Amino acid sequence: MLKKFLLPAAVAVMALGTVAQARAVEVSISCGAVGAELNICKSGAEAWAAKTGNTVKVVSTPNSTTERLALYQQLLAAHAGDIDVFQIDVIWPGILGQYFIDLKKYSKGAEKAHFKAIVENNTVGGRLVAMPWFTDAGVLYYRKDLLEKYGLSVPATWRELTADAQKIQDGERAAGNKKFWGFVFQGKAYEGLTCDALEWVDSYGGGDIVNAKGDITINNPKAVEALTMAASWPGKIAPEGVLNYAEEEARGVFQSGNAAFMRNWPYAWALGNSADSPVKGKIAVAALPKGGVNGKNTGTLGGWQLAVSKYSKHQAAAADLVMYLTSRAEQKRRAIERSYNPTIVSLYEDPEVLAAVPFFGSLRATFANAVARPSRVTGAKYNRVSSAFWNAVHDVLTGRATAKASLARLDGNLKRIKRGKW
């Protein structure tokens, strides 16, 4: 009788002991630090640590995606096991996929609740190399109070935006704010400019640089029209410094109350409405304008995924952290607290999420139909393509080349990069 009872108890105690021993590890995760990303990543990871008894080390990385990729490539090429969980950009699964473990073993089908396109994007050679964490698309921020003051409605086309921005800028400067600008965006020569410029081109119907078949399509009259329009902004309705602005520099100008319009990602919503923000309650979000009457509203697909390094010494614990952070509950918390777009479809109908971030509902079509950068078709050469593109656009914005000449040159550069095949 006693034996019957003792044996299973002893087995249970031993099992518990081994579980606890196997699990108490330190997992390091690299999070972005744009806006409030680092804080919300930390709180999420610490909740997981408290729940599982593990410890978490959060490593902060450069704000610029271009620099972050460079850092990751150096770490991973050296087979370093220092970081277990990597936060990776939507364009990187093709470039970095070989360094990550297949998460299917740990996800147990959880990816089916996420946007199908993103899961496909994160699947390389049949392996699920990363779990979707949050998605993004470029959106237009505007000052409700100023549009009202000048009797304007939300601009439907870029031409309207240009005129409205000029009107507000002239008015505000005459009223005494010499530092006021109409429009801020990301004009620095880096990946962010590729996102912004792709939106301009796509909104005019100028395609997506390299089409799905791999043909170089960027040298077309619609794209010329789009970039010519953009080139009229710096120094007129946008500060010339925009040519060296990334996301956070643009947000700095807009959130301090010195700009009427801003192109940025959804994360800026929660920060713009935070308690210490000078523009709290005065801002709203709309889809980016169309490129003319026949154009379309668009936004470049962004977003970040979580992947587990195959050089990690604690793969199971790291994968468990990934599944926790990408879970419905955590994505909901991130959406409500910091306006990060969930990748779980059903959260876009959740009343609490919609109450916190109203534009998630109204811009659902924009998020679902966002234009993707040609990273899948160009594969490992994507960085070169993107770099050639942002440099060509930067030349146009700085006035060193006309859109027509720059795109013709870009066409030649892309052909050199392609060299027959991608």
| Binds other proteins (CB under 8 A): choice among 189, 209, 353, 414 | 189
- Orientation angle between helical segments 382-397 and 221-231, nearest 10 degrees: 50
Q: Which stretch binds other proteins (CB under 8 A): 69-77, 194-202, 315-323, 342-350?
A: 69-77
275 to 17, 147, 254, 263: CA distances (angstroms): 47, 23, 16, 22
CA pair distance 24, 316, nearest whole angstrom: 12
Of 37, 60, 57, 61, nearest to 49 (Cα)? 57
Measured from the CB atom, the residue of 97 and 266 that comes closer to other proteins is: 97
Backbone torsions φ then ψ of 350, nearest 5 degrees: -75, 120
Measured from the CB atom, the residue of 171 and 241 that comes closer to other proteins is: 241
Dihedral sign, Cα of residue 202, residue 207, residue 213, residue 217: negative
Residues contacting 108, CB < 8 A, separation 6+ = none
| Residue 410 lies near other proteins (rule: CB under 8 A) | no
CB of 70 to other proteins, least distance (A): 4
Distance of CA 389 to the CA centre of its chain: 18
CB of 386 to other proteins, least distance (A): 9
Measured from the CB atom, the residue of 66 and 297 that comes closer to other proteins is: 66
| Residue 190 lies near other proteins (rule: CB under 8 A) | yes
| Residue 98 lies near other proteins (rule: CB under 8 A) | yes
Question: x/- binding map, residues 191-230, to other proteins, per CB under 8 A?
Answer: ----------------------------------------
Question: x/- binding map, residues 284-303, to other proteins, per CB under 8 A?
Answer: --------------------
Question: x/- binding map, residues 225-254, to other proteins, per CB under 8 A?
Answer: --------------xxxxxxx------xx-
Measured from the CB atom, the residue of 97 and 155 that comes closer to other proteins is: 97
Q: Which stretch binds other proteins (CB under 8 A): 19-27, 157-165, 366-374, 383-391?
A: 383-391
| Residue 70 lies near other proteins (rule: CB under 8 A) | yes
CB of 215 to other proteins, least distance (A): 17
Binding site for other proteins (CB under 8 A): 66, 69-70, 73-74, 77, 95, 98, 179, 187-190, 239-245, 252-253, 258, 380, 383-384, 387, 390-391, 394-395, 398, 400, 416, 419-420
